Amino acid sequence: MMAAEIRKRTISGSPDELDAAGFFPVPGETDEQFASRLETLSGELEALRDGSSDLLPLLRQSRPLSREVRDAANQLTWETYRFRADWVAGWYSSRRTGLFSAGILLEVDGALPLLFLHGTFARRNRRWGYDAAETLAHELIHAVRIAFPASVYEEYFPCQVHASAFRRWAGNLFRRWYLPFFSLGGIAAAAVLAAVGNALWFLPLAGPLLVLAREFQIRRRLGKAAHTLRMAGVDPLPVLLRLSDQEIFEIAALSPAELEERRKYSPRWRRLLERFPFREES
């Protein structure tokens, strides 16, 4: 999607059209603030397109993403979350991703996402167990939430597009570098202490247990929110993606009847609940 089309949709597009393109209002954002943010974004994308952006040195030796991988990623984001974010600028660049990353997203001024896939994906669809389309879809989900506050579900939503059950379940533990460090480090330390016969070998397990307890708590809230939405006849995942953590926690504490009341007085909730009716296959 070109910058001019974003500008056109900002002016004349319906809320549903904007939503389907991956333009989500942030909770508390007025219509005017939302339009202004999209106008700023369209200007940044136009500058990239016409060669006037001061970000161009960052993109040297980077190849644009192929149409094939974009279409496959768009299909994944549509099936899971009902959006196709074709406007997100993306390239192949091993220099930007580094050796150990399959894909990364750079945020410019909290408004413009720049997406990079490892250069290997320009030649083949898989690298070190990662699929090109899944990796792109993963980063696109980060991109459409770029204006949202930091979230404890930062990696949960992107990981739901992966075919790997392990990534879908454990991916959110990698939202902060120290979480897997404490988990795996604690287990390794306990194993070493047990091997040398230390009576306090179990103490390092406190770290992994705390991490898992916290993850259980936030997953439980997410599950309760999803149940409330489902009981109200709403497809949970697309709605949850468009919420802040505070909103998810609030919905987790509501009954379907209370959620229906929220629909009546909140235009935001009325749009969300009417746009995503429950689908049996989801």
**pLDDT tens for residues 180-222?**
777 888 888 888 888 888 888 878 888 888 889 999 999 999 9
Distance in angstroms (rounded) separating the CA atoms of residues 251 and 224: 8
Do 135 and 234 belong to one domain? Answer: no
Read off the pLDDT of residues 155-185 as tens digits, 9 standing for 90 and up. Answer: 999 999 999 999 999 999 888 777 877 788 8
Do 83 and 139 belong to one domain? Answer: yes
Do 208 and 114 belong to one domain? Answer: no
Separation of first and last alpha carbons in the chain: 28
Coil, helix or strand at residue 103: strand
Enclosing domain of residue 19: 3-148
Structural domains of the chain, count: 2
Do 102 and 38 belong to one domain? Answer: yes
| Domain assignment present for 155 | no
| Domain assignment present for 64 | yes
- Strand pairing partners for 115? 90, 105
Binned at pLDDT 50, 70 and 90, residue 12 comes out as: low
Distance in angstroms (rounded) separating the CA atoms of residues 248 and 150: 13
Region of residue 82 (left: phi > 0; alpha: psi -120 to 50; beta: else): left
Do 141 and 32 belong to one domain? Answer: yes
| Domain assignment present for 133 | yes
In the block, which residue shows the tokens 């969300």? 272
Coil, helix or strand at residue 275: helix
Q: What integer pLDDT is reported at residue 282 of this predicted model?
A: 42
Q: What integer pLDDT is reported at residue 121 of this predicted model?
A: 95
| Domain assignment present for 168 | no
Where is the domain boundary, 131, 148, 165? 148
Read off the pLDDT of residues 86-115 as tens digits, 9 standing for 90 and up. Answer: 999 999 999 999 888 999 999 988 789 999
Do 131 and 239 belong to one domain? Answer: no
